[in-house]
């Protein structure tokens, strides 16, 4: 056993720790404690950053919900405004169509009156001419002229009676 290298390696290992154990152990423990403190600080920093990120997420979610609500309100307002404008345009188009229809009816009525007046005047002219021709053939010239002159003289009073 004294000649085996494993035995002497074990003895050297134990002697090394007995002689230098406190000197090596203290810096080793200090280094491990420092590392544990850094890890704790990093964990605390990570927890703080996580809380900040969660708060930022909540704020962003709240702002998104507000923006969505505002967008919905704007869309609803726009749709209502578009419906109102469409209704006004429809009413205005109906009013324009009614005015144009009334104007067309007025023009038709005026044209009818004008046509009736023209037909009556033409009928009067034709009747007068036919009467003259008939009287000229049926009556002697002197008697026909006297009747025509008397009829022309009586015409204003006849027209007045007819108008009344």
Residues 147, 136 contacting (CB under 8 angstroms): no
Confidence of residue 130 (pLDDT cuts 50, 70, 90): confident
Q: What tokens were used for 131?
A: 């009467």
Q: pLDDT digit string (tens) for 74-100?
A: 999 999 999 999 999 999 999 999 999
The count of other CB atoms within 10 Å of the CB of residue 94 is 10
Residues 110, 118 contacting (CB under 8 angstroms): no
Q: Phi-psi region for residue 140, left (φ > 0), alpha (ψ -120 to 50) or beta?
A: beta
Calculate mean pLDDT across residues 38-47. Answer: 96
Chain position carrying tokens 């074990």: 10
Answer whether residue 106 shows pLDDT above 80.
Answer: yes
The Cα–Cα gap between 133 and 105 comes to 41
Q: In the chain, where are the structural domains located?
A: 17-163
Answer whether residue 159 shows pLDDT above 80.
Answer: no
17-31, 75-89, 136-150: which is most confident? 75-89
Q: What tokens were used for 134?
A: 């008939």
């Amino acid at each position: 056993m004294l000649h085996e290298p494993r035995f002497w390696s074990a003895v050297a290992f134990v002697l090394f720790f007995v002689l230098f154990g406190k000197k090596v152990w203290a810096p080793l423990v200090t280094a491990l404690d420092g590392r544990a403190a850094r890890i704790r600080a990093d964990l605390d920093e990570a927890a703080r950053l996580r809380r900040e990120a969660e708060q930022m997420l909540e704020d962003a979610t709240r702002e998104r919900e507000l923006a969505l609500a505002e967008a919905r309100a704007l869309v609803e307002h726009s749709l209502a405004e578009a419906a109102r404008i469409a209704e006004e345009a429809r009413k205005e188009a109906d009013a324009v169509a009614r005015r144009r229809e009334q104007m067309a009816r007025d023009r038709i009525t005026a044209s009818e009156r004008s046509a009736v007046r023209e037909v009556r005047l033409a009928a009067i002219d034709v009747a007068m001419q036919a009467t003259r021709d008939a009287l000229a053939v049926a009556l002697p010239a002197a008697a026909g002229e006297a009747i025509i002159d008397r009829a022309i003289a009586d015409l204003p009073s006849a027209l007045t009676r007819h108008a009344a």
